[in-house]
Amino acid sequence: MLNIAIQPRNFKSMKFQILFILAFFTLFTARAQTIADSIVLRDIPINRSAPAKMVELNIPSEGYKLQGLMYQASGSGLHPTIFLLHGFPGNERNLDLAQVLRANGWNVVYFNYRGAWGSQGQFSFKNCVADVVNAVHYIERESVKYNVDTNNIVLFGHSMGGWVTLKSIQLLPEIKKAFALSTWDIAASFKQIKSENDLLAHPLKDFKDVFVLNTTYKNIFMPVVSNLTYYDLSQDAKQLARKSIVVLDEHNKNEHIVKAIKKENGSNVLYLIWDTDHPFTNKRASLINTVLKFLNN
């Protein structure tokens, strides 16, 4: 029988090592929390042969042109690329995020959907989804021109753009990652509306007169009333479970969507709720850091 005796001196040494490790991780955690709510943005060194720049885009989508732009990263190599998808109607564009991501080596594509903010065609939720698919395919076709790594494309969407993100990624098998910020559960907003008369008699606050979209309240929302299942993201859980997704909200109204995804085998979804407003006004630095961490993992 083997007897092992711990000498008092060795025990003290082990105790000191344990205390040192605990102190280190306490300091590391505190440091991580401090970094999480601050951003250091440095000037991008000038690359004379392939400088960082902004490129105007005219993206084709089913015979129409979508107005857009790319914040192109510095350097001639292929760069990972993220699409920023705006909400309804799209006042918050998250371009502060775009600048930081480009400084960290990412190309960033922003565009306006059909019928929104001057883009050609007619606005509709389904057209938004098709526009994202068409925009991704356009950038993939022009990957050499824009230095795009087609194996590393990510979608980021805010509010309605979060819904669009989670719908369009199902149609883009090559894209594995998505970040949905304060996703608008469109189906939930209309589950009590049963007819056109109900829709017009009870217009949603702040959604009645959106003049930057070139269509009517009825044309935008009657398709939702007529086909609520399509707009219900919880019905898409099986398809979304195949993707790596972050859902970040300022409320818990999307919890049922996340729970539906997590019930599926192999799901990889992270659900976060922060104390902030819809555009995450007081959490911009934390938001940017969270997106960066997600992209780099």
Q: Which two tokens stand for residue 96?
A: 């502060």
Please give the torsion angle defined by the CA atoms of residues 101, 106, 119 and 208, in that order, rounded to the nearest 10 degrees.
Answer: -40
Predicted confidence pLDDT, tens digits, the chain (297 residues):
444 343 444 444 444 444 433 443 343 334 434 347 888 888 999 999 999 999 999 999 999 999 999 999 999 999 999 999 999 998 889 999 999 999 999 999 999 999 999 999 999 999 999 999 999 999 999 999 999 999 999 999 999 999 999 999 999 999 999 999 999 999 999 999 999 999 988 887 767 677 889 999 999 999 999 999 999 999 999 999 999 999 999 999 999 999 999 999 888 999 999 999 999 999 999 999 999 999 998
Q: Which CATH superfamily is domain 53-296 in?
A: Alpha/Beta hydrolase fold, catalytic domain (3.40.50.1820)
- Non-local CB neighbours of 238 within 8 Å, separated by 6+ positions: 264
**Which residue from 173, 183, 196 is spatially nearest to 278, judged by alpha carbons?**
183
Q: Report the sign of the C-alpha dihedral through residues 180, 183, 187, 191, in that order.
A: positive
The beta-strand segments (E) located in 37-168 are: 53-61, 64-72, 79-85, 107-111, 148-158
Q: What is the pTM of this model?
A: 0.86
Specify the pLDDT at position 274: 97
